[in-house]
Structure formats: structure tokens, C-alpha cells
Amino acid sequence: MLNLNWKQVAAGAARRDMDLRDSRREIAERLELAKRQHIFETGMDKLKTLREKREGRIAKIRMAEGFGFTREAAIILDASGQLDSQLSRLSKMDDSDINRENIRRISEVVIQKVSPEHRAEILQTMASQNTNFDSSEIADRFVRTVYSASEGSLEKAQEILAEFDSNVPTTIKPLDLNFRGLKVLTPEDTNTINRLVDNIISSNFGNLVKRDPQTGDSFYEGDDAPHIGRIRRELIKAYKSIYDDSDIKQEPVAGLMDLAEGIAYQSMTLAKPPSEIQVIPNWRDIINVTPIEPPSVEDELATGTEDMTKEDEDKPNPLNFAIPYQ
């Protein structure tokens, strides 16, 4: 018969139980350490990314100010995601090609595009990042908390991580603007504009345009020369205004051709002398012109076309004229 030493058995069981508890404690401590290490690495990566983005954002805004943007406009453009592309474009230009005067006007339009409330939110976020986001202080506080033995330290470390996320800048949708006016019109652009305008003048008033063989400048002959010169200057000014205006989506050449149509209607159809011709975008409203539209299917069915005479077919459309240009 087997005789058991119950004291030895009990002692062995106690040792096994203690070893098991020690093993579980060691596993728990390792898991706790691994968790703290993961939170630490996650937090430091976030902090590094935020620091780099913040520094890059500040550098971009200072760069934009150097090109002539106001600080407020630069911050708004950065929030809209449009600042990077414009800075890239400006950086590739010669300094003489940058239209700093018009950049100030574009800045005003940018600011007006955003409501005062939303604008204040964007600017406040940027200001708080500059004054309240001390990366060194946050990093020290975060590290101490992550490896603190005090109860709830991991929860506090998670709260500090949430501070990192709250420093993400406010974003808005891209602004509906064009930025062609960042660049001044080149001499080549000016020559093209002059040729277009001179062709508009010639097609409406005859070959009154002359060129100085020495300077290449245009001048006019005849009694109407002062008035034609005025029309020419206003056309050139209108082209430049369309080019510079960041709120106008129409291409400048298209805008010039629309003005040319108005001049042609006034000079040819209304037989106005040059002294009475207006160079205005809304010329149809000013002179009470209703654009001719093709008849609808209902109109054609109602009136029919069988009664149209040969004389009616041959009548010219007063708006159907061509404006030659090179």
C-alpha cells in the first residue's frame, strides 16, 4: 500500500500555485509593458508628424507672405488645400513675372469667399497651434505619463494622445477662384492683345489702323481717330481686367470677343458712330438687345415654314458676322 506524505503533497501544490501566480503576473507585466510601449511609439510618431506639419505650414504661410499674399489669405488658402499649388507655380517664376500688386487684390477676394464665422474658426485654429502647441512640453508630459506607475496613467496618456488629434488644422472646400493673375502679362501676351484689338477695330471701322515702323505702336487716321483710340484703349483695359480678376472664370480672349460682338452690333446694325459706341460687358442690356434663339419645336409646328418667302430666306441675321483675328 502506497503511503503518501500529505505535508509534502500540500507543499508541492502550494509551490506550483505560487509558480503559476508568478507566471501569470509576469505575463501581465509584459503585456502592460508592451501596451505602454505601443502607446508611447504611437504618441511619439503622432507628435513628430504634427510638429513637421506645423512647421511646414508656418513656412508655407511665410513664403506666401513673401510673394505678396496677406497672412489671413495665406492661412485660408492653406485650409482650402490650394496654397501648395500656387506656391509651386510662383516659385518657378522669375521675380519680374510675379504680379505682387494683383496678389494683394486676390488676397481680398480669398478673404471675402469665406464667411466671417468660418474665417474666425480657421484663424483661431492656426493661432492656437502657434501659441498653445509646445511640442517639447507635451512630449515630456506624455513620456512621464506613459511610464508612470500611478493608477490610471495609461488612461491619462490616451487623453494626451487626444490632444494631438485636436491640433489638426481646420479644412474647407477649395475656393472657386482662378489664379492666372498671379503672373503679369508678358510682352508676348501684350502683342497678342494688340493684334486682336487692332483686328476688331479694322473689321468695324476699316483700315484706319497704322503702325509706326520705328516703334511698332498703332495709331489712327481720320476724324474719328480720337474715338477709335478710346475704344481701343478700353478694349485693352477690359482684357487686362478679365485677366487679373480671380472671380471671373471666362477666358480673357473669350471676354474680348464678346466685347467685339457688342461693338460690331452697335457699329454695323445700329449704325452708331465711334463717338457713341460703348465698350461694356453687358452691352445687350444697355442697348436693349435680345439674343436671337432658334425656334422651339412647338413654335415651328405652330407657325410652319411653308409660308416663308425667298425674300425672308435671304434676309441676313444681324448678329451673324465674323470678327477676324490672327
Read off the pLDDT of residues 202-211 as tens digits, 9 standing for 90 and up.
889 876 556 6
Shared domain check, 222 and 98: no
φ and ψ of 219, to 5 deg: -150, 170
Residue 308, pLDDT score: 38
Q: Which amino acid is at 172?
A: I
Using only C-alpha atoms, the chain has a radius of gyration, in whole angstroms, of: 37
Instruction: Answer yes or no: is 319 within a domain.
Output: no
Instruction: Answer yes or no: is 324 within a domain.
Output: no
Closest CA to 161 of 42, 38, 36, 35: 42
Instruction: Answer yes or no: is 118 within a domain.
Output: yes
Shared domain check, 192 and 151: no
Instruction: Report DSSP state, residue 183.
Output: B
Closest CA to 80 of 169, 199, 197: 169
- Which comes out higher in pLDDT, residue 210 or 142? 142
Does the pLDDT at position 104 exceed 90? yes
Residue at grid coordinates 472657386: 176
Mean pLDDT computed over 204-231: 74
Shared domain check, 204 and 58: no
Shared domain check, 161 and 45: yes
Dihedral angle sign, alpha carbons of residues 145, 146, 151, 154: positive
134 with 142: CB under 8 angstroms? no
Q: Three-state DSSP class for 98?
A: strand
Length of the chain: 326
> Domain end: 125, 157, 180, which one?
180
φ and ψ of 220, to 5 deg: -125, 155
Shared domain check, 216 and 175: no
130 with 275: CB under 8 angstroms? no
Shared domain check, 166 and 198: no
Shared domain check, 172 and 73: yes
Residue 288, pLDDT score: 60
Instruction: Answer yes or no: is 1 within a domain.
Output: no
Q: Three-state DSSP class for 252?
A: helix
User: Which range marks the domain in which residue 224 is found?
Assistant: 185-314
Shared domain check, 156 and 48: yes
Instruction: Answer yes or no: is 320 within a domain.
Output: no
Instruction: Answer yes or no: is 2 within a domain.
Output: no
> Domain end: 127, 148, 180, which one?
180
CA distance 18 to 5: 20
Burial class (CB in 10 A: 0-12, 13-18, 19+), 58: middle
Instruction: Answer yes or no: is 24 within a domain.
Output: yes
Shared domain check, 189 and 172: no
pLDDT 10s digits, 51-103: 888 888 889 999 999 999 999 999 999 999 999 999 999 999 999 999 999 99
106 with 179: CB under 8 angstroms? yes
Does the pLDDT at position 245 exceed 90? yes
Residue 281, pLDDT score: 85
Shared domain check, 230 and 105: no
CA distance 201 to 325: 11
Mean pLDDT computed over 197-222: 74
129 with 169: CB under 8 angstroms? yes
What's the maximum distance between 2 C-alpha atoms anywhere in the chain? 143
Instruction: Answer yes or no: is 142 within a domain.
Output: yes
Shared domain check, 243 and 305: yes
Residue 53, pLDDT score: 82
Residue 175: pLDDT band with limits 50, 70, 90: very high
138: its cell numbers: 507635451
Residue 110: pLDDT band with limits 50, 70, 90: very high
Residue at grid coordinates 502607446: 39
Residue 33: pLDDT band with limits 50, 70, 90: confident
> Domain end: 152, 180, 208, which one?
180
Does the pLDDT at position 186 exceed 80? yes
Does the pLDDT at position 307 exceed 70? no
Helix ranges (H only) for the chain are 6-67, 71-80, 83-91, 100-112, 116-132, 135-146, 153-166, 187-205, 225-244, 252-264, 283-286, 297-303, 310-314
**Domain count for the chain:** 2
Instruction: Report DSSP state, residue 218.
Output: E
φ and ψ of 211, to 5 deg: -120, 135
Does the pLDDT at position 7 exceed 90? no
109 with 246: CB under 8 angstroms? yes
pTM as predicted: 0.66
CA distance 253 to 200: 12
Shared domain check, 152 and 239: no
Residue 301, pLDDT score: 44
